Amino acid sequence: MDFLPLFFNLKGRQALLVGGGDVALRKARLLKRAGVSLTVVSHAVVDELRLMLRDPDDQIIIGEYHPSLLDSKCLVIAATDDNALHERIHFDALDKNVPVNVVDTPALCTFIFPAIVDRSPIVIGITSGGESPVLARLLRARLETLIPSGYSRLGGLAARFRSQVKARFTSLNDRRRFWENVLEGQIAEKVFSGRNEEAEAQLKTAIEQGDTGHRSGEVYLVGAGPGDPELLTFKALRLMQQADVVFYDNLVSKEVLDLCRRDADLVYVGKRRDNHAVPQEGINQLLVEHAKKGKRVVRLKGGDPFIFGRGGEELEELKAHGIPFQVVPGITAASACSTYAGIPLTHRGYAQSVKFVTGQLKNRQQALEYAELVHPNQTVVFYMGLHTLPVLVQGLLDHGKPSATPIAIVSKGTAADQRVLTGTLEDIVDKQADAKLEAPALIIVGEVVDLHEQLAWFGQQEQSNVTHALGMLKTTAEK
């Protein structure tokens, strides 16, 4: 280990910064966040750095560096483009036992600045010892996604009640169990969701009651998005990582499921056409039962829980049983699939409104208000309509939608094997009969589909001319 990671309290201490450019500005920002008083020496100082140094103990010296400036300083940073000056500062600092950092020159440093994840009072420093600062920043970025800003509020809450907890629980093990329940349970989740007063009140009650026992359960209704794991929200990932049991549906991709906590129980409760692994009422009951056992339950749903996801039904059941819950939105299929297909749902020159409609007809009967779906300058997106495509197309035509209206089918949107088939209301049924695109699929109807060929950027595109060419080859072979 070339550098020992340490955290120093430098509030009110004096530091020397040699340099007044953009690099010096970045270092100054960090030092001021730590409460350091700065002396800056340089021939020129950028305006933002001047504005930053407004405290009475801050100082700007326009001129040359000299060793006496190191007197009474807790550290010195050299941030110029003069290598000879950097070496002088390094050796002067060694003579005076002042820690020194020379930017981008690890050999001249006695301390280095780590990449920092700041969730004060929680602070994480990551360093490569100056060997690969870009790698350290990349690792910091990953941690930033896993540690939400709410941890700062949670750390502050724990700090305020630390002495009370210590007085209430004399046993070290009891204190440990208490804080584990607080930091992994409902109190923490209340903090993360911005319900700080509720969290503090619940913490006070837990301390008064001496509660180190069973953790109460909670249900997290999480939108898993369309399948690409990179489209998950930070909050979704965090809750998936701490779940005790995960109930997931048919539209949740394997890649997303792999991000759940490794030792969590994964229970499939998906629905396919005419094949429901568990009826909706059974799913509702499972969520209640496991939460009452004190488990953290994730209900993982493809897309967004509140858009054709029956999320409202599940929450009504939880509410009736007094089960606490949270809802994490996901990117719905209409937004994700259209984006990955290069089809904007609205565009000033094509459509000024968009409708999301379920294409899964109840009891296989017509149930759609087609008169509302045939307005001009409007995009209509059908969920779960692949198997009723002929019915949907005929309904639109019967209610006056022009047969030349563009239409697209996006199959397995955002996945590596995504396919897009375009056509018109007149020919899309025949094209799909040949192409045989598979569910899950989304149907987009409207003039915006014409932008697909120009804006497509992802996956395998099965456009109209390709389908036409395949049809020609088939005809030739038959002859």
Say what percent of the chain tops pLDDT 70. Answer: 92
How far apart CA 410 and CA 444 sit, in angstroms, is 8
Question: What mean pLDDT is predicted for residues 116-145?
Answer: 90
- Whether residue 23 is annotated as binding a ligand: the answer is yes
Question: What mean pLDDT is predicted for residues 187-201?
Answer: 91
How far apart CA 453 and CA 106 sit, in angstroms, is 51
**Checking phi first, is residue 308 left (phi over 0); if not, alpha (psi -120 to 50) or beta?**
left
The runs of H, that is alpha helices, within 364-463 are 389-398, 428-435, 452-455
Catalytic site residue from 27, 228, 249, 295: 249
What letter would DSSP give residue 157? Answer: H
Report the CATH architecture of 334-478.
2-Layer Sandwich (3.30)
Instruction: Select from 135, 224, 211 the least CA-distant residue to 179.
Output: 211
362 is catalytic: no
Instruction: Select from 414, 407, 355 the least CA-distant residue to 386.
Output: 407
Whether the pLDDT of residue 364 is over 70: the answer is no
**Given this model, what pLDDT does residue 464 score?**
43
The one-letter code for the residue type at 355 is K
State how far the alpha carbon of 357 is from the alpha carbons of 127, 275, 369, 374, 435, in Å.
51, 22, 10, 13, 24
pLDDT bin (cut points 50, 70, 90) of residue 26 is: very high
Question: What mean pLDDT is predicted for residues 104-119?
Answer: 93
**Given this model, what pLDDT does residue 277 score?**
67
Mean pLDDT of the chain: 90
- Whether residue 22 is annotated as binding a ligand: the answer is yes
Report the CATH architecture of 14-113.
3-Layer(aba) Sandwich (3.40)
How far apart CA 337 and CA 344 sit, in angstroms, is 10
Token pair of 271 as six digits:
């629905």
**Given this model, what pLDDT does residue 332 score?**
96
254 HSE (CA, 13 A, CB side): 2
- Whether residue 226 is annotated as binding a ligand: the answer is yes
What letter would DSSP give residue 113? Answer: P
Whether the pLDDT of residue 362 is over 80: the answer is no
Token pair of 104 as six digits:
């981008």
Element holding 289 (H helix, E strand): helix 280-292
Question: What mean pLDDT is predicted for residues 198-213?
Answer: 86
Catalytic site residue from 271, 355, 427, 450: 271
Per-residue pLDDT tens digits for 331-343: 999 999 999 999 9
Question: What mean pLDDT is predicted for residues 441-468?
Answer: 78
> 456, 342 in Cβ contact below 8 A?
yes
> 294, 214 in Cβ contact below 8 A?
yes
Lowest mean pLDDT among 136-145, 152-161, 251-260: 136-145
Q: How far is CA 347 from the centre of its chain?
A: 27
453: Cβ–Cβ under 8 A, 6 or more apart, which residues?
Answer: 422, 463
What residues form DSSP beta bridges with 39? 16, 59
Q: Are strands 218-223 and 296-301 parallel, antiparallel or unpaired?
A: parallel
pLDDT bin (cut points 50, 70, 90) of residue 203 is: very high
How far apart CA 150 and CA 190 sit, in angstroms, is 10
**Given this model, what pLDDT does residue 223 score?**
97
- Whether residue 112 is annotated as binding a ligand: the answer is no
Contacts 24+ apart (CB under 8 A), 279-283: 280/310, 280/313, 283/247, 283/314
Question: What mean pLDDT is predicted for residues 310-338?
Answer: 95
- Whether residue 333 is annotated as binding a ligand: the answer is yes
Say what the pTM is: 0.70
CATH 3.40.1010.10 fits 218-331, yes or no: yes
**Given this model, what pLDDT does residue 173 score?**
79
**Given this model, what pLDDT does residue 220 score?**
95
- Whether residue 413 is annotated as binding a ligand: the answer is yes
- Whether residue 302 is annotated as binding a ligand: the answer is yes
474 is catalytic: no
- Whether residue 44 is annotated as binding a ligand: the answer is yes
**Given this model, what pLDDT does residue 138 score?**
92
**Domain residues of the chain, as ranges?**
14-113, 150-209, 218-331, 334-478
Element holding 172 (H helix, E strand): helix 172-184
- Whether residue 304 is annotated as binding a ligand: the answer is yes
**Which residue in this structure is represented by tokens 């006496």?**
68
Whether the pLDDT of residue 213 is over 90: the answer is no
Whether the pLDDT of residue 52 is over 90: the answer is yes
- Whether residue 229 is annotated as binding a ligand: the answer is no
How far apart CA 37 and CA 31 sit, in angstroms, is 8
**Given this model, what pLDDT does residue 189 score?**
87
**Given this model, what pLDDT does residue 92 score?**
98
The one-letter code for the residue type at 405 is T
- Whether residue 330 is annotated as binding a ligand: the answer is no
State how far the alpha carbon of 457 is from the alpha carbons of 140, 196, 215, 295, in Å.
30, 44, 48, 42
> 325, 239 in Cβ contact below 8 A?
no
Helix (H, G, I), strand (E, B) or coil at 38: strand
